[in-house]
Structure 1
Amino acid sequence: MSPVFSHGDLRLYLLHLLAEEPRHGYDIMQALSDRTGGTYTPSAGTIYPRLAKLEEEGLVSKSVDGRKTVYAITDAGRDELARRADDLVGIEAGLTDSIRLIAEEVRGSVAEAMRSLRADLAAAGTTRTAPTSAEPPPDDEKARSREQLRRADVVINDFRGRVRADLRTYVARGGSLTADVVADLERQLEDATRTLSLSLRG
């Protein structure tokens, strides 16, 4: 879920970023993307006009550093930031909620992948133990086992690829991968391993 900067919120958050340190335009855009877990990546057409407006109001100054234009907050900008400190707290809380929602989506994706894997393992176990009217020749049984082994490889590789892609995308977008999410993944994988072991012994 993308965080929404309501009217005036983006302007205030730009002052907040510049109060941390002077930044050039790309750095500001990257900081906004990082702070929102990649859910909000503003364009230059969004950021530069707002910076120009802040400069016009005397809240921001700019200087040229080589080929880059660096923006810095002024004393008037700091006063504006101090006056709207409560608004800034609300904005930060909204961004934190957005990151939390992303983490929950990743956790849900992992849980869904595990449910799919368990279902496939259960189906494979049912197929293996289902009674048949006649015992198949030994060679046919080995061939079926090899086919099921290939199927299991596909299922496991698909699961691994999906989980890795979800986790890498989340981290690449600036999300914080918590120990709880990884521990939950580890527990579910251990459960799946136990389920498989019991199925094979049955």
Structure 2
Amino acid sequence: MQALLKLASTIDAINRFIGKHVIWLILASTLISAINAVVRKAFNISSNAFLEVQWYLFAATFMLAAGYTLLNGEHVKIDVIYGRLKKRTQTWIDIFGFVFFLLPVCAGVLWFSTPFFLNGFNSGEMSGNVGGLIRWPVYAVMPLGFALLWLQGVAEVIKRVAFLQGLIDDPTVKKVDKTAEEELAEAIQRLAQAKTAQTKSA
């Protein structure tokens, strides 16, 4: 079981790293949207590429952060009954849901989306819009995102089984003190301070 817990910890670390960095894509999408709006209004110049790259970045954010969202228990739950049950019963329900619903669905999407991505990659499929982008990068985030979500599902099953065996504390108790937005704001502040320090030293 210790080897499985180590695997779960590794998966957690991977999704935590990706989740904390993929939020920058939201900032990039926002900046691109703002620049596109300013250029279109000021110079009457625009391109479908600006619009499509925003969709790509949003798709990447949504898909690549799915595993991180599961790690932090932030997916929507309807727990009218679930929330009133004992912790061990909740844990068994979680395990059942992961094993019989989440993992098979992720595996099915992986099975069908991987050839879809490979076909787009091999054909060099382009957007049908004038000035649009190549399609395979956005196709790639589907199998990649579901692979990360599948891995996180495996990690959650391992942790819940270990919890039932009394090997670890409750894995559903959140240990994150700061939200992703707060972490992003702090990262931007650190970058600004570093640039200020570089300017002063120069």
- If asked which structure has higher relative contact order (CA below 8 Å, sep 6+), I would say 2
TM-score of the superposition, structure 1-length normalised? Answer: 0.33
Q: Which has the larger radius of gyration?
A: 1
